[in-house]
Amino acid sequence: MKELLAKIQNLPIELKEIYDKIYEIKIFDDKMKIPEQLKEHFAEASEQEIIVITNKILHQETAFNLWRNKRDEPVVDGTPSGELLKNEFTPSEASSLALSEARCPFCNPREMTPEDEIGRLENEGAITGSNIADSSKYHSLVIFKKHNFSDLDKNDIVKAFELARLWFQEIIIFDEKLKYGFLIWNQGYRAAASISHPHLQIFATETLPEKFEFIKDNISNYQQKYNSNYYDDLFLLHNYLGLAKKFGEIKIIISLTPLKDKEIVILMQQNEFDIKNLNNVIDAYKKFSESFNLFLLKEPYGGLPSGFIVDRGDPDKKNSDMGSLELYAFSVVGFDLENFAKKFLGSL
């Protein structure tokens, strides 16, 4: 990356003008405290450089952290964990072998996970830690104290979300420039979790992710063109079709154009996460999916979706649910939209 950045700095004038129209680069220095047990392998990870390249025209953004390619593969009884995922095991069997409680780093987070710059936060249901290779300058984890997803109850989820909210409050005090927060939960290997032990990832940023800037711009255009709020109209339409429901202060939409199977759009009426009602939504969703992606945005000015949950399929299946069409063209789904809406919305 250093050579590439040097070339960008020394572009000819005519190419530099084109570059400035399209691209922007930001470089962040990221610091973390490495526990003694990890210093032998990860001492240099205490200081990392994150390079964020933004295409301002297409609203695309990529974060580069070369440390993500330096992470050692976990070893289980002398065998790299990747070897456990060969044909002799289903993913769920490999998961239990590779990350049993005795070997799981998240079951011993104080010694096996770094501590971020504001220190470690904890309550009876969860504890924070830093990712060994961050995706953003302020990127931390909320680790459930229970090892198995199936053992989580409503109180566990509430406590994890309360800890995430506390982290957001503390990190904004630490750095006053931060305005936005978002939370993700990748549950299961098919949902891109690198460790099966349930955990949330939390981020705080000065700016919105570019994809949300794109959404915000289009919502604004809709308002100006039709003098009507886009998400109010969207809810009215989907509610009439039996694909939406108001649950407490949260609005749930089963979108006519889902990204993947069983996707729901979450609209919250307040800037802070509505933990009580959100918890009930997630608890209901767990009945329909063992492997899912959850994304929540904490956005202070409104006008944006608060979050999404999407199913990633049977955790025992080895084939991917996403390919080139989904990545670059359009989504392909294989579920009955109306049937799922009846069952899920009826469970709230």
For residue range 180-212, what is the model confidence (pLDDT) as tens digits?
889 999 998 888 888 889 999 999 998 888 888
Together in a domain, 257 and 217: yes
Quick one: average pLDDT of 216-235?
88
Is residue 18 domain-shared with residue 85, that is, in the same domain?
A: no
Range of the domain at 40: 2-69
pLDDT digits (tens, 9 = 90+) for 275-313: 888 888 999 999 999 899 999 987 654 567 788 999 998
Q: Residue 107, SS3?
A: helix
Instruction: Over range 64-82, report the average pLDDT.
Output: 54
Q: How many CA atoms lie within 13 A of 76 on its CB side?
A: 17
The answer to whether residue 232 sits within a structural domain is yes
Q: Which of 43, 69, 95 is where one domain is finished?
A: 69
Asked whether residue 91 falls in the same domain as residue 44, the answer is no
Total domains in the fold of the chain: 3
Is residue 186, in this structure, part of any structural domain at all? no
Q: How far apart are CA 164 and CA 125, in angstroms?
A: 11
Percent of the chain as helix, strand, coil, to the nearest 5:
40, 25, 40
Does the structure show a pLDDT above 60 at 124?
A: yes
Do 218 and 336 fall within a single domain? yes
User: Do 38 and 7 belong together in one domain?
Assistant: yes
Task: Flag whether 122 is in a domain.
Answer: no
Going by pLDDT thresholds of 50, 70 and 90, the confidence category of residue 142 is: very high
Residue 39 is assigned to a structural domain of this protein? yes
Residue 331: inside a domain? yes
Is pLDDT at 325 greater than 80 in this prediction? no
Where residue 274 falls among pLDDT bands split at 50, 70, 90? Answer: confident
Q: How far apart are CA 345 and CA 247, in angstroms?
A: 9
- Domain stops at, among 69, 94, 125: 69
Residue 140 lies in a domain: no
The answer to which of 115-124, 175-184, 188-197, 319-328 has the lowest mean pLDDT is 319-328
pLDDT tens-digit series, residues 13-33:
988 888 888 888 888 888 888
For position 323, what pLDDT does the model report? 82
Q: Is the pTM here over 0.85, yes or no?
A: no
Measured CA to CA, the distance from residue 320 to residue 311 in angstroms comes to 12
- Are 51 and 84 contained in the same domain? no
Q: Grade residue 37 by pLDDT with cuts at 50, 70 and 90.
A: confident
Q: Is 161 inside any structural domain?
A: no
| Same domain for 283 and 247 | yes
User: What's the mean pLDDT in 226-242?
Assistant: 88
Q: Is residue 111 part of a domain?
A: no
- Does 220 share its domain with 307? yes
pLDDT at 78 over 70: no
Region of poorest pLDDT, from 70-79, 165-174, 293-302: 70-79
Indicate whether 99 and 218 sit together in one domain: no
- Give SS3 for 133: coil
Rg of the chain, C-alpha, whole Å: 21
Q: Are residues 93 and 221 in the same domain?
A: no
In terms of Cα–Cα distance, which of 122, 119, 213 is closest to 173? Answer: 119
